[in-house]
Structure 1
């Protein structure tokens, strides 16, 4: 997770936390880190990946494109973890990152709060996560994938 001695805006802080939670629930990335596909510093590469993605959102702001984020995730997974993903999970992750970003910009941290509760619950029980929001790396239901909150495909 990104750390800094400076105080950052609460919305950015929430987005960083949300991104960290999303990456922590991404099965492909979790497996790559656990199995050290990126070498002995796989955990550091995962943390760096969060920083890179947060920085990309910071550069592009509301002009961010979900497909660009997906491409960035796929490229990092291939370059840093020698993992070529064919499971569409990078698309799910990029969707959730864009969704959380849009919410955090508006000061809405409800999804980040839900992710925090999920992660705390998972850490406490080590049980499967289930809630009203989708966890990246798991199937997106038909209702969720066709919601009106999807990014425009310009």
Structure 2
């Protein structure tokens, strides 16, 4: 069988077992990989700022969570994940969904890290994933935009609300 890519995931799911992670403890590896992917996304500064400031509109957080879910699903179900394809997906999502033109090379950095996590997980290794999770556990939970509620927005002069009467 030919090696599949991130973009072949839908066809791959219907033709073969759900995951390709090589391990006697597949469920553990899939769980650790999923948590590591969530950690990578939660610590991605550009995406975190987009969510915090609602750069993608009122449903910015939903868009970010959908991107996270798409990447997570692709990594868990694809035989091969290519950094260039993943970078293109992330870069496009930043621009299209959050109006961010990433000049800091973060989509490429995130893509390379995710590919390393995927390759290790396929080999039954969790060293990088566990290191990321340990580092994240030492941080305060409010640094995690995925799990933490957004702080209430301060009202600005001139803002309207449903409580004010229409004139």
- Equivalent residue in structure 2 for 1:28, among 46, 54, 63: 46
**Residue 17 (structure 2) pairs with residue 16 (structure 1):** no
Aligned residues: 118
- RMSD of aligned C-alpha atoms? 2.0
Partner Cα distance (1:66, 1:45) in 2: 21
The equivalent of 1:88 in structure 2 is 105
**Residue 91 (structure 2) pairs with residue 38 (structure 1):** no
Kindly state the Cα deviation for residue 116 of structure 1 after the two structures are TM-superposed.
1.4
Between structure 1 and structure 2, the one with the greater Rg is 2
Q: Which runs of 4+ in 1 moved over 6 A?
A: none
**Residue 82 (structure 2) pairs with residue 65 (structure 1):** yes
- Equivalent residue in structure 1 for 2:71, among 53, 60, 65: 53
Partner Cα distance (2:27, 2:140) in 1: 27
Kindly state the Cα deviation for residue 113 of structure 1 after the two structures are TM-superposed.
1.5
Give per-residue Cα distances to partners, 1:90-124, cap 9 Å, x unaligned.
Answer: 10000000000111112212222211121121216
The equivalent of 2:154 in structure 1 is none
Partner Cα distance (1:23, 1:72) in 2: 14
The gaps in structure 1 that reach 5 residues or longer are: 1-7, 127-154
SS of 1:84's equivalent? coil
The gaps in structure 2 that reach 5 residues or longer are: 1-25, 144-167
Partner Cα distance (1:107, 1:34) in 2: 35
Taking structure 1 as the reference length, what is the TM-score of the superposition?
0.69
The equivalent of 1:97 in structure 2 is 114
Taking structure 2 as the reference length, what is the TM-score of the superposition?
0.64
- Equivalent residue in structure 1 for 2:137, among 120, 130, 139: 120
SS of 2:79's equivalent? helix
Kindly state the Cα deviation for residue 17 of structure 1 after the two structures are TM-superposed.
1.0
Partner Cα distance (2:71, 2:142) in 1: 29
The equivalent of 1:137 in structure 2 is none
